[in-house]
Copies of this chain bind each other. A is one copy, B any other.
Amino acid sequence: MLAEIITIGDEILIGQIIDSNSAWIAQQLNNIGVRVKQITSASDDRQHILDSLNSAANRADIIIITGGLGPTKDDITKKTLAEYFNVGFKRDEASLKVIEEIFRRGNRPMLEINNKQADVPENCTVLLNKSGTAPGMWFEHEGKVFVSMPGVPFEMMYLLEEEVLPRIKQHFKLEAIVHHNILTAGIGESFLAEAIATVEDSLPSYIKLAYLPKLGQVKLRLSAYGEDEVALRQEVLKYADAITAVIDEYVVCSEDKALEVVIMEFMRAKKLTLAVAESCTGGYLSQQFTQHAGSSDVFLGGAVTYSNALKQSILGVSVATLDQFGAVSEETVREMAEGALNNFMPDYSIAISGIAGPGGGTAEKPVGTVWVSVAGGNKTIAKKFQFGNRRQQNIERAAVNAQIMLFKLLREEHA
């Protein structure tokens, strides 16, 4: 079963907003066994919308349209849909009530253009939007389903979850899809491909393997398509096990989770805590952990010691070490990690010191030189990395590699 997503509106095409709706819709459709064939962002232009509807309907069975449902003149999705289906309009009383209520609550005068928001093409089933003025619409036309929803994320999400997905499941007999993710770290994409070539070549045609690389990590995704979900899941697991057997030492986890989440879950289960001492990553590493709800029971906090003075005062790095070896050195980064351990009292600490660039490099320590140290369990390890010239990338790579170092150490010590 194939679907397409069409987002309508200039704000995406001029880059004003990032289309995060489509990814979310695609995830939800995938979960119920509907594959998305194409995502199209089209302008608020009658002919362009008509063409997009035509080509989507040629490729897919379900066409999900978001956006272009506002009251102003530039929003023409509804009018264009009526033209596409060659029908007139009807007023939907339930939607009108919601709209009136929204204006009443907001104490705003209701204009004629607001009444018109309750008008929908005659051939549609209204999907009542309880939290906005634009109704959702469900159309069945020449064997295809068309759904139109507002582009406001939470309105769209509500309509998709409560109205659209249940109707799709009822309307179509859906193929089962099973995804299985394997997150690897510390091995490059091509080396990985070579290592698992035999397994990959043995995959049946209905199981696909995708490589999703991201700064020091590669996520492998097996996707199986077919009738019998239980059988598919068993088969996918068989191949996942075969892959894991070959690359076991690089596998971080077998779920669709970020590395820092896996680390925090591991530490939470063992009642371990973490603190960090960051120099060149400047808070990025902390944010990787703290962006996740519930991080506070593992992550105690840390220091961003950009200046040498703060490396001394907060972390207790010695003046002699900084003078003799410099801020970007094995000696300093070890003292930073141990200082974080002693001063912040976690079970484990991570310290990072490097030259993110673009300035600050020397012949001996060029931009991209980063030292990482991990301390805990009566052990302090340190490792030097040589990344490239891009500041943000160096920051992200340093943070990911520091996490990999911590994760390996944790697994060694708490197997």
Residues of B within 8 A of A359 (CB): 293-294
Residues of B within 8 A of A276 (CB): 304
Are B282 and A290 in touch, CB under 8 angstroms? yes
Are A40 and B39 in touch, CB under 8 angstroms? yes
A36 to B17, CA, bound (A): 14
Interface locus among A188-196, A262-270, A318-326 = A188-196
Contact among B40, B193, B290, B395 for A113, CB-based, below 8 A: B193
The chain B residue sitting closest to A14, CB to CB, is B30
Residues of B within 8 A of A295 (CB): 282, 306
Are B290 and A283 in touch, CB under 8 angstroms? yes
The chain B residue sitting closest to A10, CB to CB, is B210
Contact among B27, B55, B281 for A55, CB-based, below 8 A: B55
The chain B residue sitting closest to A52, CB to CB, is B38
Interface of A is mostly: mixed
The chain B residue sitting closest to A38, CB to CB, is B42
The chain B residue sitting closest to A294, CB to CB, is B359
Question: Known: A13-B39, A41-B39. Is A299-B290 also a contact (CB below 8 A)?
Answer: no
Least Cβ–Cβ distance between A293 and chain B, in angstroms:
5
Question: Known: A11-B210, A41-B22, A154-B392. Is A293-B190 also a contact (CB below 8 A)?
Answer: no
Least Cβ–Cβ distance between A387 and chain B, in angstroms:
9
Residues of B within 8 A of A256 (CB): 16
Q: Map CB proximity to B onto A3-30 as digits: 1 under 8 Å, 0 otherwise.
A: 0000000111111111110111111101
Q: Map CB proximity to B onto A28-52 as digits: 1 under 8 Å, 0 otherwise.
A: 1010000111111111000010001
Question: Known: A301-B307, A303-B303. Is A27-B43 also a contact (CB below 8 A)?
Answer: no
Least Cβ–Cβ distance between A180 and chain B, in angstroms:
13
Question: Known: A39-B12, A41-B39, A304-B304. Is A282-B287 also a contact (CB below 8 A)?
Answer: yes
Confirm or deny: A246 has a beta carbon within 8 angstroms of a beta carbon on chain B. no
A306 to B189, CA, bound (A): 36
Are B108 and A188 in touch, CB under 8 angstroms? yes
Interface residues of A (CB under 8 A from B): 10-20, 22-28, 30, 35-43, 48, 52, 55, 70-74, 105-106, 108-109, 111, 113-114, 131, 152, 154, 158, 179, 188-191, 193-194, 200, 208-213, 221, 223, 256, 275-276, 278, 281-287, 289-291, 293-296, 299-307, 309-310, 313-314, 343-345, 356-359, 386, 388-393, 395
Q: What are some 5 contacts across the A-B interface (CB < 8 A)?
A: A10-B210, A12-B39, A13-B37, A282-B295, A293-B391
